[in-house]
Amino acid sequence: MRESAGVSKDLSGHRAVFLDRDGVINENVYYERWGEFEGPLRPEDVVILPGVFDAMRRFSDAGFLLFIVSNQGAFAKGKVSLKSLAETARHVDSLIAGAGLKVAEAYYSFSHPKGVAPFFSGESLERKPNPYFLKLAEAFYDLDLASSWMIGDRATDVMCGRAAGCRTARIVNDSNEISPSDPAPDIIADSLREAADGILVKG
């Protein structure tokens, strides 16, 4: 967890949008070394998806606080250094700030249940689908989670939002399709921009 970006915490009952990062804000990256998609492992691998900043701006203009909640297990799995993941996170932060947007807080879980790195491996309360960070934000920012949304591209994001009492939206993309056994979100969209269209209509 990192410090807040200067947003007042005297916001009783405020609505929030919790954004998964990889596949929602930025592209997932296909790494041939492992033959699978991952979140970007280096700052230079970050590509912001089309329409993302516009969608985030629309949420802010509608009175939603913005949060990032992201699982980042690549270090735990031995794929990259923790420093590289931290530099990548800071780069995403700088791109968002450069677009004139404010994220109240960015929460990252660097653990993985099948990890190999000491202290970062095994089960973790922070890692989605656990709603740990959403409940933490609720307490520190006095949020109304029932009026808030969790947006992600995986079943674990939907499960996390549901467990916290939020409504949910799922982004479907080429690297992650919906399985029949996955929990149903309130909204299915092909981009954050399309998800914003549906969420802002629902309120």
Residue 11 lies in a domain: no
Residue 6 amino acid letter? G
C-alpha distance from residue 50 to each of 18, 120, 157 (Å): 19, 33, 21
Write the pLDDT tens digit of every residue in 46-79. 999 999 999 999 999 999 999 999 999 999 999 9
Write the pLDDT tens digit of every residue in 119-175. 999 999 999 999 999 999 999 999 999 999 999 999 999 999 999 999 999 999 766
β-strand pairing of 29-31 with 36-38? antiparallel
Query: Per the structure block, which two tokens stand in for 134?
Result: 């959403």
Query: Per the structure block, which two tokens stand in for 35?
Result: 């033959």
Residue 101 amino acid letter? L
Residue 111 lies in a domain: yes
Residue 175 lies in a domain: yes
Residue 3 lies in a domain: no
Domain that holds residue 146: 16-202
Q: Is the peptide bond before 129 cis (omega within 30 degrees of 0)?
A: yes
- Which residue of the set 20, 144, 174, 182 is catalytic? 20
Looking at residue 178, what is its pLDDT? 83
Q: Please, what sign has the CA dihedral across residues 103, 132, 145, 25?
A: positive
The residues near 46 (Cβ < 8 Å, ≥ 6 apart) are 26, 40, 88, 91, 92, 95
Residue 8 lies in a domain: no
Residue 65 lies in a domain: yes
Annotation marks residue 10 as catalytic: no
Annotation marks residue 197 as catalytic: no
Q: How confident is the model at residue 180 (pLDDT cuts 50, 70, 90)?
A: confident
Q: What's the CATH number where 135 sits?
A: 3.40.50.1000
Residue 9 lies in a domain: no
pTM of the complete model = 0.91
- Which residue of the set 22, 45, 182, 190 is catalytic? 22
Residue 2 lies in a domain: no
Residue 14, pLDDT > 90, answer: yes
Residue 192 amino acid letter? L
Q: How many domains are contained in the chain?
A: 1
